[in-house]
Structure 1
């Protein structure tokens, strides 16, 4: 099992659309077993993957164990919960889902407070900080666990990124997305430094290293790669290229990505997983149908030129899925 968080410090880059369609491609085209964890309090992935009526019933009746409830025993000093959050099935995307919970935003305070305890080498702090790692480690039946996140660099997202094996970065071609790469790198450097100091203090205090599910905890996050999205393309000799207005930004983004790759010790030539040009005309239909873009049909409102977009989307997402699985599985 490999766990991958989809993250960028900028909203509006198509992160959730990428995650859900990539997850569907891996499941449908590659027959992988995929679980999506919605760790964004806005619950956008849950709203995309599940029909409205089903999601409303889940959230309003509280007839399930939520991802937020996993933190309750930790908050009370009782250790980790015995079970796992309820897992639902997205029929059209053919993936499993742990739905999001708006109350996760309130957990930010707990995670922020206990991060200070973590940095001091205190056991309680480590338990809170690595609660999501504990949860993910219990889900070994999947090929991929894919985690959706909000765009902040706060305590909740830090705990997600400390829990997973990889992070994947959706990028858009704009100056703010470029600056977000720099913000992410600075935060990662600070988190790694703080975590390594905390682990050393814990070892000195307790006489042994901190373990999660029997394994020593360390900074393990790797860079899976990036996907460039939402740019306007032209064709030159049959090859799609960004229009001139975006070329300078793309060039500067590559410089920032080089810095990120140096931090993670990976080759920048390996991390470009592909591109998804603007598919705005069919994305709303996909969201309304709670179905992958490449699986839309007449019953979902597809007519005329939309079919070309649907076919193009299949080409883009399946190609990214191939590169993704090669990168993750080696």
Structure 2
């Protein structure tokens, strides 16, 4: 099993959309996939589940399961034992125990979801406090807090026997993301070709190296054997360029100017290379065109963009775009799988 976090500390680059579609495409390619939503905004969860299912998971009373005003559904994706990431960490948040086992939600055959929860933001302070207290290894409670996401990931992945875990996180460098990224074997970075994404890379690279160094050199050697802890690898797989909508008032050359700078910034900031000459597009996994016209149709149909059919409103030239979308995500997924084979075994 290998885990991949999709992360950029600049928001609005299509990270959650990328995670959602990669999960579906990797499943199509024969893999058993677990998507884990560790973004308190829970947008990935909202992409997978409808409002009634979310209401049941989040214990909202105005749902069919609670006798709310809506008509009861004949079918629900939820089963006994399903819960969110907050369900799993609630004993830690309340100071009454360790993580609780939850069953991931089955989305389709060989694809599961550990749902997110807006209440996850309340875990930020607990994680911030636990980080320095875990440096000596004497405070086992602090180490259990810091490793909670890793242990939830490991437990749920083993329960359903997946081979790939995709982790969606928020666009920041806070304590929640630190714990989430430490749990990841590899990191894939969605980027837009603009100033903000480049600035995000410049902040992201040094921070990941600092977290990795502290974890591996200070914390990990002192973690008691009884506590399952991540290696803190966060191996940089590369980046995916998410193309914007091209407008007449934003010339192509302006987009190209930022695009040309990404390889050097990635090499120096993320890979910590003093000399980035000759790196070219080595770490560019794919460039995805803009599918903005497909997004509302996919949202209404509650399916990936590349699954849209004429009955969903994908007519004429739109169906051609759907086919291109399928080929683009298939090529991206196949290239990602090749890159995962290069992740060091001692991660």
Q: Secondary structure at the match of 2:131?
A: helix
Inter-partner Cα distance in structure 1 for 2:218 and 2:289: 43
Cα 1:217–1:104, aligned 2, differ >3 Å: closer, same or farther? Answer: closer
- Which residue in 2 is equivalent to 1:237? none
- Which residue in 2 is equivalent to 1:238? none
Inter-partner Cα distance in structure 2 for 1:153 and 1:27: 30
Inter-partner Cα distance in structure 1 for 2:56 and 2:93: 27
Match of 1:112 among 116, 124, 128: 128
- Which residue in 2 is equivalent to 1:219? 232
Q: Is the 8 A contact 1:16 1:148 kept in 2?
A: yes
- Which residue in 1 is equivalent to 2:77? none
Q: TM-score, normalised by structure 2?
A: 0.82
Q: TM-score, normalised by structure 1?
A: 0.86
Q: Secondary structure at the match of 2:325?
A: helix
Q: Secondary structure at the match of 2:46?
A: helix
1:260 positional shift: 4.3
The structure richer in strand per residue is 1
Give yes or no for the alignment of 1:97 onto 2:106: no
Q: Is the 8 A contact 2:33 2:163 kept in 1?
A: yes
| CA RMSD between the two structures | 2.8
- Which residue in 1 is equivalent to 2:209? 189
1:157 positional shift: 0.5
Q: Is the 8 A contact 1:36 1:96 kept in 2?
A: yes
- Of residues 58-67 and 169-178 in structure 1, the stretch that sits farther from structure 2 once superposed is 58-67
Structure 2: 5+ residue stretches without partners: 62-79, 343-347
Cα 1:219–1:148, aligned 2, differ >3 Å: closer, same or farther? Answer: closer
- Which residue in 2 is equivalent to 1:135? 152
- Of residues 166-175 and 301-310 in structure 1, the stretch that sits farther from structure 2 once superposed is 301-310
1:41 positional shift: 1.1
Inter-partner Cα distance in structure 2 for 1:317 and 1:163: 25
Give yes or no for the alignment of 1:151 onto 2:151: no
Q: Is the 8 A contact 1:119 1:197 kept in 2?
A: no
Match of 2:325 among 310, 313, 317: 313
Inter-partner Cα distance in structure 1 for 2:88 and 2:272: 32
Inter-partner Cα distance in structure 1 for 2:176 and 2:217: 20
Inter-partner Cα distance in structure 2 for 1:167 and 1:38: 15
1:145 positional shift: 0.8
Report 1:248-327 matches (<5 A): 248-260=257-269, 262-263=271-272, 270-327=282-339
The alignment of Structure 1 onto Structure 2 pairs a total of residues equal to 313
- Which residue in 2 is equivalent to 1:81? 99
